[in-house]
Amino acid sequence: MTDLIYFTVSLSGLAALAAVLVVIGRMAGDCPQTAGAARLATWVVVTGFIALGIGAVALIGAALPVLSEGRAAGLYLAIGLLAIALGFGFYNAATMLRDILAAAPRAGEGSAG
């Protein structure tokens, strides 16, 4: 039962943070100057975040039997570790998306005449 709770909470958190990154990317994609770069960068960053997040879920989930030993404290520890890992990952993904968009060429810019 502990495993089911852990994986439900962790994958729900991962999905929620990935959805927030998609929303941020869509908002950046509404800007006509960076729309193309925003769409591509969003999917690259979100895909990487999900891949790393699933790895964190699996690694911490593998340690769950050792952590829990019949007590809820291990479950709380695993969820806490995962929240920290996903938080750092989300921060890095959002920062990477911002940096990509800041460096993207703007529509209408370039060498004129």
pLDDT tens for residues 38-48?
Answer: 888 888 899 99
Q: Is 112 helix (H, G, I), strand (E, B) or coil?
A: coil
Per the CB < 8 A criterion, the answer to whether 43 and 99 are in contact is no
Burial of 77 (0-12, 13-18, 19+ CB in 10 A): middle
CA atoms of 52 and 50, how far apart (whole Å):
5
pLDDT tens per residue, range 58-88: 988 888 777 766 677 778 888 888 999 999 9
3-state DSSP helix/strand/coil % of the chain, to nearest 5: 85, 0, 15
Name the amino acid, one letter, at 1. Answer: M
Looking up tokens 């998609």 gives 22
